[in-house]
Amino acid sequence: MMRCFRPRSSKLPDEVDKAAAVGEKRQLVQSQQASRVFNGDGGAGGQQGSKYEITRIMRPDDANIVGNVHGGIILKMIEEAGCIVSTRHCNTQEGDRCLAVLARVEKTEFLSPMFIGEVAHVTADITYTSTHSLEVQVKVVAENILTGAKKLSNKAALWYVPCSLKNVDKIMEVPPIKYASAEQEEEGRKRYDAQKLERLETKARIEEVVPPQPNSEDSPKEQHTVGFSQSSLIHLVGPSDCTLHDYVHGGVTMKLMDEVAGIVAARHCNTNIVTASVDAINFHRKIKKGCVLTVTGRLTFVSNKSMEIEVIVDATSLVEAEKGKYRAVSAFFTFISLDKGNKPLPVPVLKIEGEDEQRRFEEGNARYLQRKAKRMAAQGRPQ
């Protein structure tokens, strides 16, 4: 039999009792704080269900060969946290139970790289609600548990709509949240109107067909051209990819998109590459279980230190082949090239072939200048 002996304390009984009381109080406070995070208390208006946190340690299979965590892994965690907090909030009202479905992701910023062994703290906070949609802002903090150092890794804003579990085509109403001020509500309304307008503009040009680019020994492409690095990934949507509705999780799709964009960037640079940012990701149509996804990425613009890669997702149903292929998701990813010390490297010049590539390059340049102006304005620097 094993016995446990408690060491004698040199403190007086009163001191021991006082120390024990302080320790119990500290544990109670920590427990209450953890409970608030788990149950989603706080956030906009401090109401239950408006905030949620996911915490997970980064493993070797989450990263590339040099230890950088894949952007797709982070995007998937961001979407999971957003889905949970949105679904919980929408089910606080009477009526049909519902599941929040991702409709759009605003620009996602990758501020600092995350590495194997670091702990990701993903915090999702509901910041605006309209009649049928809600905005969730997500922050990702990377923690080195050996040194205690923390850094802000990512920021993103996501829009969800609640779909009834009884009828996936039925969009439920969203319970309103309480705002700290009228200004906060007005700012949220402006963001809602802006993303709604941009979604409509994007929808008008989503059906462009991306021709396959043969890149074999029989028809080799010149290095540093669009055709040389263009890549596609084929994925069959299975049960583990799907929600309770049997529709694919938005995070699963975003992870696949980041993987394809990473392949394109690596082929162009032949170096270590990481995701720097993602422009708005628009989910045009739902993707159901049993669909075959074709995820295609191609370079549209290259600056001295960054690459813009357009990624589109087309879906084809195996059981409903008569519906044909349709455009499901589209986005622009920005990647940068890094040396062994994780310092930015110059990016090879993109060789343009044809009028279509020249047009896309000019459009990409305009987006690049727009992103740069916004970044400089946020830093308070003259443009």
**119 and 65 inside one domain:** yes
3-state class of 108 per DSSP? strand
Q: What DSSP string describes 292-360? A: EEEEEEEEEEE-SS-EEEEEEEEEEESS-GGG--EEEEEEEEEEEEE-TTS-B-PPPPPBP-SHHHHHH
**What's the confidence (pLDDT) of residue 32?**
43
pLDDT tens digit sequence for 176-220: 999 999 999 999 999 999 998 888 777 656 666 666 665 555 556
Is residue 8 one of the residues assigned to a domain? no
**What's the confidence (pLDDT) of residue 204?**
58
**227 and 375 inside one domain:** yes
**133 and 169 inside one domain:** yes
Candidates 333, 229, 224, 330; CA nearest to 275 is 333
Is 257 exposed, middle or buried (CB count within 10 Å of its CB: 0-12, 13-18, 19+)? buried
Candidates 232, 252, 245, 308; CA nearest to 277 is 308
Whether the CA torsion 18, 21, 27, 31 is positive or negative: it is: negative
In the chain, which residue ranges form alpha helices assigned H by DSSP?
13-39, 71-90, 182-203, 226-229, 250-269, 355-378
**198 and 228 inside one domain:** no
Beta bridge partners of 16: none
**188 and 233 inside one domain:** no
Q: Which one of 125, 241, 258, 279 is the catalytic residue?
A: 258
Q: Is 282 a catalytic residue?
A: no
3-state class of 15 per DSSP? helix
pLDDT band for position 7 (cuts 50, 70, 90): very low
Structural domain of 174: 50-203
Tokens 């009202």 sit at which residue? 93
Is residue 305 one of the residues assigned to a domain? yes
What region, left, alpha or beta, does residue 216 occupy, with left being phi > 0 and alpha being psi -120 to 50 degrees?
Answer: beta
Is residue 8 over pLDDT 60? no
**242 and 185 inside one domain:** no
Q: Which one of 41, 64, 96, 215 is the catalytic residue?
A: 64
Tokens 């040009």 sit at which residue? 205
User: How many alpha carbons lie under 13 Å from residue 97 in its C-beta half-sphere?
Assistant: 4
How is residue 322 written in tokens?
A: 């008569």
Q: Is 17 a catalytic residue?
A: no
pLDDT tens digit sequence for 19-31: 445 444 544 444 4
- The percent of residues above 70 in pLDDT, for the chain, comes to 81
Look up residue 216 and give its amino acid. S
Tally Cβ neighbours within 10 Å of residue 231. Answer: 21
Candidates 333, 344, 326, 319; CA nearest to 287 is 326
**What's the confidence (pLDDT) of residue 50?**
80
**362 and 318 inside one domain:** yes
pLDDT tens digit sequence for 287-312: 999 999 999 999 999 999 999 999 99
**310 and 365 inside one domain:** yes
Higher pLDDT, 373 or 162: 162
CATH of the domain at 269: 3.10.129.10
Is residue 2 over pLDDT 50? no
Q: Out of 154, 169, 203, pick the residue that ends a domain.
A: 203
**199 and 284 inside one domain:** no
In angstroms, rounded to a whole number, what is the distance separating the alpha carbons of residues 323 and 121?
41
Candidates 301, 274, 316; CA nearest to 369 is 301
Q: What is the mean pLDDT of the chain?
A: 85
CB 144 within 8 A of CB 118: yes
How is residue 19 written in tokens?
A: 């120390």
CB 291 within 8 A of CB 317: yes
Distances (CA, A) of 355 to 296, 299, 311: 20, 15, 20
Is residue 115 over pLDDT 80? yes
Total count of domains within the chain: 2
